[in-house]
């Protein structure tokens, strides 16, 4: 099961071209005043849209300790201290697993016209790739408003060890949180 949960971020192989990190920021929010944070309740949410037998709760039980540990190690570098007493922001994570596809058809890049000396033909699939995709999102909220969101998304690479997957989750969180504005 850890392979399913961590595979989301196994996709987040830092430095690999396939990993994409995106950040959205509320430009009206003053991050210079933010010094403390705490986990939202619930801390996170796992959503799986791959097979009917995937168990989001089991995946969350395996992935959540890794996510929590990585966040606790990364937030001090951004000037944030965890606090349960009136924190400035709260944090929630989302782990998303899904399946996508990529296909190419014969002639898809050529116009099917006689001027190109190519007779019109029916498009037939030349290449089909089914892709397991994963994303990890971290949301910082002030009150009920999300003020900062970081997302790492990539193709899941099956067949790596649980230890490597855990390391990749940590690396993905590092890459996401290094884009959070420093407050110190």
Do 103 and 125 touch, CB atoms closer than 8 A?
yes
In a domain, 109, yes or no: no
**Residue 119: inside a domain:** no
Grouping H, G, I as helix, E, B as strand and the rest as coil, residue 10 is helix
Residue pLDDT, tens place only, 56-89:
898 899 899 999 999 999 999 999 999 989 999 9
Asked if the structure places residue 54 within a domain, the reply is yes
The structural domain count of the chain equals 1
Q: Is 113 inside a domain boundary?
A: no
Domain-embedded: residue 95: yes
Q: What's the CA gap between 82 and 89, in Å, rounded? A: 10
CATH number of the structural domain spanning residue 80: 3.30.160.670
Asked whether residue 66 is domain-assigned, the answer is: yes
| Residue 136 domain-assigned (yes or no) | yes
> 84-138: per-residue pLDDT in tens?
899 999 999 999 888 776 777 766 666 655 565 555 666 666 666 666 677 899 9
pLDDT single digits (tens) 148-167: 999 998 777 767 678 877 87
Residue 124's φ and ψ, nearest 5 degrees, are -125, 145
Domain hosting 144: range is 2-102+126-177
């Amino acid at each position: 099961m850890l392979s399913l949960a961590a595979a989301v971020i196994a996709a987040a192989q830092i430095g690999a071209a396939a990993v994409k990190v995106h950040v959205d920021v509320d430009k009206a929010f003053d991050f210079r005043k933010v010094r403390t944070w705490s986990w939202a309740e619930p801390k996170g949410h796992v959503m799986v849209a791959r097979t009917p037998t995937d168990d989001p709760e089991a995946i969350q039980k395996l992935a959540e300790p890794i996510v929590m540990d990585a966040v606790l190690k990364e937030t001090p570098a951004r000037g944030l201290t965890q606090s349960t007493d009136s924190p400035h922001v709260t944090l929630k994570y989302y782990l998303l697993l899904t399946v996508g596809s990529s296909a190419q058809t014969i002639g898809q890049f050529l116009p099917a016209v006689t001027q190109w000396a190519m007779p019109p033909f029916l498009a037939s699939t030349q290449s089909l790739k089914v892709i397991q995709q994963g994303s990890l999102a971290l949301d910082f909220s002030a009150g009920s408003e999300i003020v900062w969101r970081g997302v790492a998304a990539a193709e899941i690479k099956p067949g790596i060890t649980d230890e490597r997957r855990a390391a990749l989750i940590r690396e993905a969180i590092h890459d996401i949180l290094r884009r959070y504005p420093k407050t110190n």
